[in-house]
Amino acid sequence: MVVSKKIKTFLRSNPPKTHWHIDPVIANDTFFCLTKHFKCSVNTFFAKLNLSSIPLPTSIYFETWNSIKMRRIQKHNEYVKSIPFSDFKVFDSVLSQIPNNYMVQSSNSSTIRYLQLFELNPSLTVFCNRGTSGIDGSTSTAIGAACVSQQSTVFITGDLSFFYDSNALWNHYIPLNFRIIIVNNRGGGIFRILPGNKNSENFSTFFETNHLLDAEPISKLFDLEYTSASSKEELDTALVDFYKQSSRPKILEVFTPSSINDQILLSYFDFIK
Ligand SMILES: Cc1ncc(C[n+]2csc(CCOP(=O)(O)OP(=O)(O)O)c2C)c(N)n1
């Protein structure tokens, strides 16, 4: 599933001549132009595809898109340096400090949207429940995946998604190296990013669902180690020890200023244009 609506719309309104989907089971016709479904794994497909026998046309396709990508990365780095502590800045610190070969589990909604804006360490494997994109069940999924795969796992989540599924912590199977990072912006930050009037009580009560909860009492209840951070310095300090071996799973809760998060994200898109 392509997360970005802008990219989905772009590809739908600029359809390719052919669209091949490679998957052993299912082929979603996301761009309404699917021409062929190869029912096999990606590795099998590329092992059988004899590229040297295919005459390749001369094309500037790669150079064109690669230079756009490079420029975007450069603008991205410039922007991150210039912004104050916010959701965006938290993702920059957090994503650059996940150890190699971790599984990253993401909740919905702005968590996965921020995640896709960053160049990730290619040794990480990233999962998120997309489809109906519920904020429910992400913690349960992350814990289940960590148990079954036995891969070191960090779960990154928003506060509402975390509190919604806190019952996921009530079991005896959470691996000791399981890590949770809660980006607590005191409500549904995604709704501030979407267009509409944000300065009304109706907005904060019924859309953003403002709250003052923090995860410390829940960590005590379920016997998890707890740390919090409210600035870049505190976050970077907390991350130094966060992935070290421990006798209990850990939660790191990062408090961000909800009033500036949306503006920082929206200005990012203007800046990299
Ligand atoms: C089960 C369910 N209920 C409601 C929604 C609508 N919804 C989408 S995002 C969101 C808020 C998410 O807030 P949070 O987890 O704090 O993440 P943030 O957007 O702040 O990063 C809600 C309520 C949903 N996706 N799934």
Q: What pLDDT sits at residue 220?
A: 98
Centroid of chain to Cα 220: 27
Asked if residue 147 belongs to a domain, the reply is yes
Tell me which residue has its CA closest to atom 10 in ligand 1.
Answer: 188
Q: Which amino acid is at 144?
A: G
Asked if residue 79 belongs to a domain, the reply is no
Tokens of 246: 């421990």
Q: Rounded to two decimals, what is the model's pTM? A: 0.93
Same domain, 263 and 154: yes
Residue 146 belongs to a domain with what CATH number?
3.40.50.970
pLDDT digits (tens, 9 = 90+) for 113-142: 999 999 999 999 999 998 888 999 999 999
Is pLDDT at 237 greater than 80 in this prediction? Answer: yes
Same domain, 51 and 94: no
Same domain, 93 and 52: no
Q: What pLDDT sits at residue 211?
A: 95
95 in contact with ligand 1, CB cutoff 6 A: no
160 in contact with ligand 1, CB cutoff 6 A: yes
Centroid of chain to Cα 261: 16
Same domain, 38 and 106: no
State in Å: Cα 246 to ligand 1 middle. Answer: 31
Is pLDDT at 169 greater than 90 in this prediction? Answer: yes
Same domain, 46 and 138: no
Q: What pLDDT sits at residue 146?
A: 98
Is pLDDT at 250 greater than 90 in this prediction? Answer: yes
How large is the average pLDDT for residues 20-43?
95
Same domain, 103 and 203: yes
How large is the average pLDDT for residues 31-60?
93
Structural domain range at position 203: 86-272
DSSP β-bridge partners for residue 179:
154, 250
Same domain, 247 and 180: yes
Same domain, 91 and 131: yes
Last residue of a domain, one of 37, 56, 75: 56
Beta-sheet strands, E only, within 12-55: 20-22, 36-38
DSSP β-bridge partners for residue 157:
182
Sign (positive or negative) of CA dihedral 207, 210, 216, 220: negative
Number of domains composing the chain? 2
Tokens of 243: 């992935």
Asked if residue 200 belongs to a domain, the reply is yes
How large is the average pLDDT for residues 191-211?
87
Q: Are 100 and 149 in contact (CB under 8 A)?
A: no
How large is the average pLDDT for residues 203-215?
93
Nearest to 272 by CA among 54, 69, 64, 57: 69
Looking at the CA of residue 161, tell me the nearest atom of ligand 1. 15
Is pLDDT at 200 greater than 90 in this prediction? Answer: no
Is pLDDT at 109 greater than 90 in this prediction? Answer: no
Asked if residue 257 belongs to a domain, the reply is yes
Q: Are 160 and 183 in contact (CB under 8 A)?
A: no
Same domain, 163 and 125: yes
